[in-house]
Structure 1
Amino acid sequence: MDSNGISGLRPNGPAPTLEVCVIRKWVPKYRENELHFVFVDEEVYMLSGFLFCERKKLQKSCLKLCLQTCYQIKGYGCTEPGNFTNTLTHPAIMNLGNATVITSIPDNENIPKQYFDLATRGRAEFQAKLEGVVGTR
């Protein structure tokens, strides 16, 4: 396991320079001053990240990181994911801020541009019950 990739990141631990691809980004409901991301690296490990900033700056930040584009990211922090922001099973979440340096890099063929985390039928039924979704057969 490469400790310099996403797999080695831990809350409050070292934050090495990463080369990642943005595979998802969104503004969460009821958190309009945050921009959330899902990044993937060469080892196909995924990590959530978020940027907290003023609404005006958020639009500018949205344009900075494009989907399915590779970036080098440094100067970020890692913390434990919150209960309402956790989208992945990784134990850390990347906090992007004023000290974060994001540089576009040429596409790396080893970093996937898409990633699917498929659920078993049992997991999908459990999630549907939690959300009150009625399924049909």
Structure 2
Amino acid sequence: MTTFNDNLQISKMSTICLSEVKVYGDPAPIEVRVLKKWIPYHDKKYIYYLFVDAHGCAIEATTSTNNKAHFDSVITIQSCYIIDDYVCLSKRPYMPTVGHDASIRLGMIATFTPSSNNNIPDHYFDFATYNELMPITKLPKRLTDFIGRVIDDKHKPVKSTTLRKIIIIDEDMISSETSLELTLWPNHNVKAPDKTNIGSIIAITSAEVKEYMGKYVSTK
């Protein structure tokens, strides 16, 4: 429970925007909402978090999976905190979720003070257009947010399973020849509607985009 004295202490605490977090810089308190948590399939040693602040800036934070029990007891997803005593590092070299050059490493001494700031968004998108996909597909890759109009939604049998393929275009695309194909595997934990109508507008977040046979494809 947050007491009056706690609120007084929070109000006196000076925080910085996430855009001011610099690689190997001196950390200062940040006020953020914790949007999500995940463990990448290619890096099982670390837990990743996505933070967003009231300015709409976002940054990745990591901690060792050895600290899982501690941070599971400290962090509630979609809750807001003032965080201090962290370490500023460079972003991970492979498939970061945001373009920020810095990232945050959370150790056992990091402090989390609950915040009731209602001005912090409960979501974050950094949409790429079709014309911006090419550099994102090259090393060091970055996971992509994309929004577009559905032009096809079909199921395709492949060996012992069935894949779902959603074809979308945005305002930079003029036909199915310049489209993004999203492939959904049934064994992947992906939140997606069971059916999308042709012409519907959908948003994709944290997707890996590849170039395949002259087209852009994404698998989740």
User: Is TM (by shorter chain) over 0.5?
Assistant: yes
RCO (CA 8 Å, sep 6+): is it higher in 1 or 2?
1
1:121 aligned residue (119, 130, 136): 130
| Aligned position for 2:24 | 12
TM norm structure 1:
0.80
Correspondences of 1:87-106 after superposition (within 5 Å): 87-106=97-116
Count of residue correspondences:
129
Relative to its length, the structure with more strand (as a share) is 2
In the alignment, structure 2 segments of 5+ residues that lack a partner are 1-14, 138-208
Gaps of 5+ in 1: none
Question: Could you say which residue in structure 2 is the equivalent of 1:80?
Answer: 90
Q: Distance in 1 between matches of 2:100 and 2:24?
A: 14
Distance 1:90 1:97, change over 3 A: same
Matched, 1:22 2:104: no
Residue equivalent to 2:200: none
Q: Which amino acid aligns with 2:34?
A: V
Please state how far the C-alpha of 1:59 moved relative to its aligned partner: 4.0
**Does the 8 Å CA contact 1:34/1:58 hold for their aligned counterparts?**
no
SS in 2 for 1:116: coil
TM-score norm. by structure 2 comes to 0.52
Task: Determine if the alignment matches structure 1 residue 44 to structure 2 residue 126.
Answer: no
The CA RMSD measured in Å over matched residues stands at 2.4
Deviation, 1:80, is 0.7
Rg bigger for which structure? 2
Distance 1:36 1:11 in 2: 17
In structure 2, how many angstroms separate the alpha carbons of the residues matched to 1:134 and 1:19? 36
Give, in angstroms, the shift of residue 85 of structure 1.
5.7
**Shift of residue 63 of structure 1?**
4.5
SS at the partner of 1:117? coil
Q: Deviations over 1:103-126 (max 9, x none)?
A: 2222x1211011122221233475
